[in-house]
């Protein structure tokens, strides 16, 4: 047995100053100059910098069109409208995700049916989609959760068979790959957050990418009054040009797009270093009982993008039932203060999806325009329901510095290997682990 756990007065495993290993985004003079240029020219609310960013972003994505947004919520909202989701329609979305993968559908008159997640990828389980499809289903929202690509091949197959659209929520995985394909370009439309907590981090911003002209123009029509003009080619939209059909003003702030243009130049190489660092961390922990990597095998041509909000998978059964809360408490004592269990609380458990009447229909908004009670589907979400006790935060390294990374890995190893000392005094998990947003 190793040395005494820090929780019981032993020496902390993590002693080094982490320096800037966690600092993100990386901001240099080039970023500052780009932002100052917009400020000094007085074009914060203009569109010229954003248009350049859109062209560069589309090129980087390998998509025909990219459209900038004020945030990811707006981009996903527009993607839903672009996929013609309207009154009475249903989308299928994993219960384990950030709320902005789903709630916007209410304002379109539609509703959400939750599907379960896979225990290894933590993304929507393709085997749990078909039984939830009804004649009202219009789209599947595939979230590449915590950097991990969703299993797109079977999802696309199901979508094709049932004539559904696929919206990829790329907010956790910008630049990531699924079998060699860039995430966001596999489904009909990719929409994502670029807010500063994410791996592509430029303040408050969002992006929508697609190869489909009609989807692109419907997204413009919904919340981009300036761009919605005589240049629109989709016939049935033309008469309405000039005013935003969704009553939304969704364009990107140019301080963000200026920053985005600089960040994009360095993004891939920075993500590569993140993956090198994170894979090293997990390689050091391979085979340690109780903890398992949440990552793809890179041999498949897939990867973890920028490894957003990194989590590990917890196997309490390998540690005689030790709770993840007790485990994380011991890791925090070793010197990694951010080791908290859980992540996003599964959405289906929130009262907004059960009883709330948001729009005054006289019944819960979730079923306001439904011909059957979609809440029935929530009963069968076994993996989502235990998700919060299955994960814990791990350090999200931005640089490959093996000596420092090893200290953190050693902390996790020490706790896992000393788990017996923690069984006594394990108060179990509290009712609610995690939170409604990704960070604590
Ligand atoms: C952050 C996030 C969004 C929303 O993006 P904002 O830029 O915060 O509006 C949507 N989906 C997921 C999965 C997210 O994590």
The pair of three-digit structure tokens given for residue 165, joined into one six-digit string? 């659209």
> Nearest-CA neighbor of 304 among 170, 142, 155, 113?
170
Does the beta carbon of 206 sit less than 6 angstroms from any atom of ligand 1? Answer: yes
Does the beta carbon of 171 sit less than 6 angstroms from any atom of ligand 1? Answer: yes
Under a CB-based contact definition with an 8 Å cutoff, are residues 180 and 200 in contact? no
Look at residue 22 and tell me whether its pLDDT is greater than 80: yes
Question: In Å, what is the CA distance from 265 to each residue of 63, 154, 260, 364?
Answer: 17, 33, 9, 46
431 pLDDT tier (thresholds 50, 70, 90): confident
The torsion angles phi and psi of 303, rounded to 5 degrees, stand at: -155, 180
Q: What is the pLDDT of residue 392?
A: 98
Look at residue 130 and tell me whether its pLDDT is greater than 60: yes
Q: What ligand 1 atom has the least distance to the C-alpha of 71? A: 7
440 pLDDT tier (thresholds 50, 70, 90): very low
Helices (H), 96-201: 152-162
Three-state DSSP state, 292 = strand
The pair of three-digit structure tokens given for residue 82, joined into one six-digit string? 């672009």
Q: What is the pLDDT of residue 297?
A: 86
Segment 244-259, tens digit of pLDDT: 999 999 999 999 999 9
Question: In Å, what is the CA distance from 135 to each residue of 110, 379, 422?
Answer: 13, 20, 51
Characterize 83-98 residue by residue with b for buried, 16 or more Cβ atoms within 10 angstroms of its Cβ, and e for exposed: bebeeebbbbbbbbbb
Look at residue 382 and tell me whether its pLDDT is greater than 60: yes
Question: In Å, what is the CA distance from 394 to each residue of 310, 337, 386, 408?
Answer: 6, 10, 19, 9
Question: In Å, what is the CA distance from 112 to each residue of 29, 72, 115, 365, 399?
Answer: 44, 18, 10, 10, 39
Tell me how far apart the terminal alpha carbons of the chain are, to the nearest angstrom.
33
Asked whether residue 316 is domain-assigned, the answer is no
Look at residue 1 and tell me whether its pLDDT is greater than 80: no
Average pLDDT, the chain: 97
Does the beta carbon of 97 sit less than 6 angstroms from any atom of ligand 1? Answer: yes
Asked whether residue 109 is domain-assigned, the answer is yes
Percent of the chain with pLDDT over 70: 99
Average pLDDT over residues 29-57: 98
Spacing, Cα 250 to ligand 1 middle (Å): 15
Q: What is the rounded distance in angstroms from the CA atom of residue 140 to the CA atom of residue 83?
A: 10
- Provide the number of structural domains found in the chain: 1
Bridge-based pairing state of the strands 311-314 and 291-293: antiparallel
> Nearest-CA neighbor of 376 among 207, 134, 203, 138?
134
Q: Which residue is associated with the tokens 């033309």?
A: 238
Does the beta carbon of 210 sit less than 6 angstroms from any atom of ligand 1? Answer: no
Asked whether residue 84 is domain-assigned, the answer is yes
For position 87, which CATH number holds? 3.40.640.10
Does the beta carbon of 98 sit less than 6 angstroms from any atom of ligand 1? Answer: yes
82 pLDDT tier (thresholds 50, 70, 90): very high
Which residue of 68, 70, 72, 105 sits with most ligand 1 atoms within 8 Å of its CB, as the best mutation to test the pocket?
A: 72
Asked whether residue 323 is domain-assigned, the answer is no
C-alpha torsion 125→390→168→26, nearest 10: -160
Which residue of 71, 95, 100, 183 sits with most ligand 1 atoms within 8 Å of its CB, as the best mutation to test the pocket?
A: 100
Three-state DSSP state, 111 = strand
Asked whether residue 355 is domain-assigned, the answer is no
Q: What is the rounded distance in angstroms from the CA atom of residue 43 to the CA atom of residue 49?
A: 9
Spacing, Cα 366 to ligand 1 middle (Å): 21
Look at residue 269 and tell me whether its pLDDT is greater than 70: yes
C-alpha torsion 343→349→354→359, nearest 10: -10
438 pLDDT tier (thresholds 50, 70, 90): low
Asked whether residue 379 is domain-assigned, the answer is no
Segment 278-312, tens digit of pLDDT: 999 999 999 999 999 999 988 889 999 999 999 99
Does the beta carbon of 208 sit less than 6 angstroms from any atom of ligand 1? Answer: no
Under a CB-based contact definition with an 8 Å cutoff, are residues 61 and 209 in contact? yes
Asked whether residue 395 is domain-assigned, the answer is no
Q: What is the pLDDT of residue 405?
A: 98
Asked whether residue 127 is domain-assigned, the answer is yes
Residue 227 belongs to domain spanning? 29-261
Which residue of 73, 124, 308, 436 sits with most ligand 1 atoms within 8 Å of its CB, as the best mutation to test the pocket?
A: 73
Segment 147-176, tens digit of pLDDT: 999 999 999 999 999 999 999 999 999 999
Q: What ligand 1 atom has the least distance to the C-alpha of 206? A: 7
Segment 333-348, tens digit of pLDDT: 999 999 999 999 999 9
375 pLDDT tier (thresholds 50, 70, 90): very high
DSSP per-residue string spanning 180-235: TEETTSSSSEEEEE--TTSSS--SS-EEEEES-HHHHHHHHHHH-TTTSSTT---G
Percent of the chain with pLDDT over 90: 97
Q: What is the rounded distance in angstroms from the CA atom of residue 344 to the CA atom of residue 324?
A: 15
Question: In Å, what is the CA distance from 374 to each residue of 1, 121, 133, 344, 366?
Answer: 52, 25, 11, 22, 8
Q: What is the pLDDT of residue 432?
A: 83
């Amino acid at each position: 047995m190793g040395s005494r756990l820090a929780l019981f007065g032993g020496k902390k495993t993590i002693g080094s100053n982490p320096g800037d290993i966690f600092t993100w985004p990386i901001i240099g003079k080039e970023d500052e100059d780009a932002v100052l240029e917009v400020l000094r020219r007085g074009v914060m609310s203009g569109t010229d910098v954003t248009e350049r960013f859109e062209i560069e972003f589309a090129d980087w994505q390998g998509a025909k069109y990219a459209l900038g947004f004020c945030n990811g919520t707006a981009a996903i909202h527009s993607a839903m409208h672009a996929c013609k989701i309207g009154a009475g329609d249903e989308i299928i979305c994993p219960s384990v995700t950030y709320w902005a993968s789903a709630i916007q559908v209410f304002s379109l008159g539609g509703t959400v049916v939750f599907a379960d997640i896979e225990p290894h990828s933590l993304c929507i389980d393709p085997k749990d989609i078909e039984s939830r499809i009804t004649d009202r289903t219009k789209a599947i929202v595939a979230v590449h959760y915590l950097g991990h690509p969703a299993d797109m091949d079977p999802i696309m197959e199901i979508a094709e068979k049932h004539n559904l659209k696929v919206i990829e929520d790329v907010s956790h995985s910008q630049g990531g790959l699924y079998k060699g394909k860039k995430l966001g370009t596999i489904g009909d439309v990719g929409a994502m957050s670029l807010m500063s907590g994410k791996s592509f981090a430029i303040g408050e911003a969002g992006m929508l990418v697609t190869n489909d002209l009609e989807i692109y123009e419907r997204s413009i029509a919904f919340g981009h009054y300036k761009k919605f003009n005589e240049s629109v080619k989709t016939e049935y939209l033309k008469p309405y040009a000039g005013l935003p059909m969704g009553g939304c003003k969704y364009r990107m702030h140019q301080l963000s797009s200026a920053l985005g243009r600089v960040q994009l130049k360095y993004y891939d190489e920075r993500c590569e270093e993140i993956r090198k660092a994170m894979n090293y961390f997990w390689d050091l922990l391979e085979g340690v009982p109780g903890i398992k990597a949440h990552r793809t095998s890179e041999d498949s041509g897939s990867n973890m993008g920028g490894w957003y909000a990194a989590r590990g998978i917890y196997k309490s059964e390998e540690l005689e039932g030790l709770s993840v809360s007790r485990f994380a408490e011991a890791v925090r004592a070793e010197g990694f203060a951010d080791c908290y269990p859980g992540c996003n609380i599964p959405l289906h458990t929130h009262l907004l999806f059960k009883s709330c009447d948001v729009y005054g229909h006289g019944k819960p908004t979730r079923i306001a325009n439904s011909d059957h009670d979609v809440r029935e589907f929530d009963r069968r979400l076994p993996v989502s329901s235990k998700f919060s006790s299955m994960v814990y935060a791990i350090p999200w390294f931005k640089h490959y510095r093996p000596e420092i990374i090893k200290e953190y890995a050693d902390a996790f190893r020490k706790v896992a290997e000393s788990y017996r000392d923690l069984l006594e005094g394990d108060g179990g998990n509290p009712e609610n682990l995690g939170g409604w947003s990704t960070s604590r």
